[in-house]
Amino acid sequence: MRFSRVLAGVATVSAAALAFAGCSPAADESKTITVVYQKTDGFVALDELFQKVKPEFEAANPGITVELEPIVADEGDYATKLALMQQSAETAPDVFYEDTFRVRSDVDAGYLLNLDEYLAEWEDWEQFNDGAKEAGRADDGSVYAVPLGTDTRGIWYSKSVLEAAGVPLPWEPKSWEEILETARAVKAASPDKVAFNVYSGKPAGEGSVMQGFGMLMYGTDDTLYDAEDQKWVTGSQGFVDSLAFIETLYGEGLAPAPDVALDGSMWQKLFGEWFPGGQIAGTIEGSWSPSFWKQDGSYEWPEYVDDIGVAAFPTQNGQGDGAVSLSGGWTLAVGAQSQNPDASFDFLAMALDRENALEYNIANSQIAVRADVAEDPAYLEANPFIGFFTDLVSVTHFRPATADYPQISAEIQAATEAVMTGQMSPEEAAAAYDDAVIGIVGDENVTQ
């Protein structure tokens, strides 16, 4: 039958293709180190850093080739692909860009190399501040990742809007109550403006924790996670109080209307329209904010230098340090399965030396974690607020980055959404959160 010939043709083509596939170069020449990181049009700083370090490193280490493998994707997809690559020894990268909040769970998964020995011999390590050292530490007490930089969060406010409402400047609220008082004054003076924004709800994602609920929660007497016992805290008054603050803010119309706030792109309006247009008095936002307003930023607004003021976010009643901040940020780490761990660490160290860290921190609007960079004039001149936000490092907290954190964060987001829309009272939402947390981590990992 003639179709057998057709069939044979198809079979040959398939076989050839698969055979060809089989011959593809498996990148395991022993003296190559692969570097995997995220790159997008809006985020080229790291790519530029590695492009610069690669020839320097290859010149200093003859015989070693650095292979750069940027992944073009958003953060979620980047994490997925990185985790898949890490799962197979054949594809696990030697050096990679890793979010601080994934460090612990990825250490549990066995993806990261213990860096203690290398750090002990690295003289630059003492330049890193304590928070940065903690960010790369896992439950076993060892350090597995070195931060590139960090970010801090505080209050950004519009001087002109507050002045119009008769609020004396500089505005330095000392408690949650003072924030509400000021917000009410703004609301009374101009009812159609947003008085104070605290990110809430699921569409804002991690922002609802980092630039929202978390800033409140860490300013109470309670905590989310008991780091010593490694247990999640349920039934705390601080949790209810934090939700109650959000309820008040949204319930009284001081925050953006819930349907506006529940659009994941609200922050773009906030930077692009509300602040430049004088339609908002204040918000919690991150240290990177000027990167949007500066020259060539997404929402260029040169006047921000004069119109914007900043303040530390207060603790609930001014207790403790009186101020609170949350930090995230990204690190570089070495793969546990690396064939060339020594060379990989050397590459990491070179990429994070003083000169490179300085350039990267400025280019990517990062808060420096190296003391020598933090006091460098070039760094401090990058924008008028960078010094202020660098100082917040002293009061900042890192997320409880356990493997369960992403799910628990989603439950926190759901709780804030339930409260801001009035679907649940703070107590109900807190109780629902408690149930969800027990469901995620189990009874044995929860404490009262």
Minimum CB distance to other proteins smaller for 214 or for 219: 214
The stretch among 100-108, 157-165, 171-179, 312-320 that binds other proteins (CB under 8 A) is 100-108
Query: Shortest Cβ distance from residue 43 to other proteins (Å)?
Result: 4
Contacting residue, 262, 363, 380, 446, with other proteins by CB under 8 A: 262
Closest Cα partner for 213 from 264, 190, 247? 247
Please state, in angstroms and as integers, the Cα–Cα distance from residue 422 to each residue in 246, 409, 416, following that order: 10, 20, 10
Residue 40: strand pairing partners: 43
Distance CA 315, CA 323 (A): 5
Residue 397: strand pairing partners: 326
95-99 and 396-398 as β-strands: parallel, antiparallel, unpaired?
unpaired
Query: Shortest Cβ distance from residue 25 to other proteins (Å)?
Result: 9
The stretch among 214-222, 240-248, 287-295, 347-355 that binds other proteins (CB under 8 A) is 287-295
Distance CA 367, CA 311 (A): 16
Closest Cα partner for 370 from 146, 138, 73, 60? 146
- The pattern of x and - marking residues 315 through 344 that bind other proteins according to CB under 8 A reads ------------------------------
Phi, psi of 95, deg, nearest 5: -125, 135
The stretch among 248-256, 309-317, 380-388, 403-411 that binds other proteins (CB under 8 A) is 403-411
The stretch among 37-45, 130-138, 173-181, 345-353 that binds other proteins (CB under 8 A) is 37-45
Task: Report the chain's terminal Cα–Cα distance, integer Å.
Answer: 77
Distance CA 144, CA 348 (A): 12
- 81 near other proteins, judged by CB under 8 A: yes
- 11 near other proteins, judged by CB under 8 A: yes
Query: Shortest Cβ distance from residue 416 to other proteins (Å)?
Result: 12
Range 195-214, binding other proteins (CB under 8 A): 201-203
- 131 near other proteins, judged by CB under 8 A: no
Rounded to 5°, angle at Cα 415 from 413 and 421:
100
Closest Cα partner for 145 from 111, 190, 192, 194? 111
- 105 near other proteins, judged by CB under 8 A: yes
Residue owning tokens 């976010």: 313
- The pattern of x and - marking residues 350 through 379 that bind other proteins according to CB under 8 A reads --------------x---------------
The stretch among 156-164, 244-252, 349-357, 401-409 that binds other proteins (CB under 8 A) is 401-409
CB atoms within 10 A of CB 2: 6
- 388 near other proteins, judged by CB under 8 A: no
Contacting residue, 33, 35, 39, 183, with other proteins by CB under 8 A: 39
Please answer whether residues 174 and 318 qualify as being in contact, where contact means their C-beta atoms are separated by less than 8 angstroms. yes
Range 110-129, binding other proteins (CB under 8 A): 110-111
Name the region of 200 (left: φ>0; alpha: ψ -120 to 50; beta: rest). Answer: beta
Query: Shortest Cβ distance from residue 201 to other proteins (Å)?
Result: 8
Please answer whether residues 148 and 45 qualify as being in contact, where contact means their C-beta atoms are separated by less than 8 angstroms. no
The stretch among 113-121, 158-166, 176-184, 290-298 that binds other proteins (CB under 8 A) is 290-298
Minimum CB distance to other proteins smaller for 197 or for 364: 364
Query: Shortest Cβ distance from residue 332 to other proteins (Å)?
Result: 16
- 434 near other proteins, judged by CB under 8 A: no
Query: Shortest Cβ distance from residue 239 to other proteins (Å)?
Result: 20
- Counting residues that bind other proteins (by CB under 8 A) gives 74
Contacting residue, 28, 63, 88, 121, with other proteins by CB under 8 A: 88
Q: Which residue pairs, CB below 8 angstroms and at least 24 apart, start in 420-426?
A: 420/200, 420/201, 420/246, 420/247, 420/250, 420/255, 420/258, 420/261, 421/201, 421/250, 421/258, 421/262, 422/247, 422/250, 422/251, 425/247, 426/240, 426/241, 426/243, 426/244, 426/246, 426/247
What DSSP line would sit under 90-141, residue for residue? Answer: TT--SEEEEEHHHHHHHHHTT-B---HHHHHT-GGGGGB-HHHHHHTB-TTS
Contacting residue, 83, 185, 189, 438, with other proteins by CB under 8 A: 83
- 293 near other proteins, judged by CB under 8 A: no
- 253 near other proteins, judged by CB under 8 A: no
Query: Shortest Cβ distance from residue 315 to other proteins (Å)?
Result: 26
- 28 near other proteins, judged by CB under 8 A: no
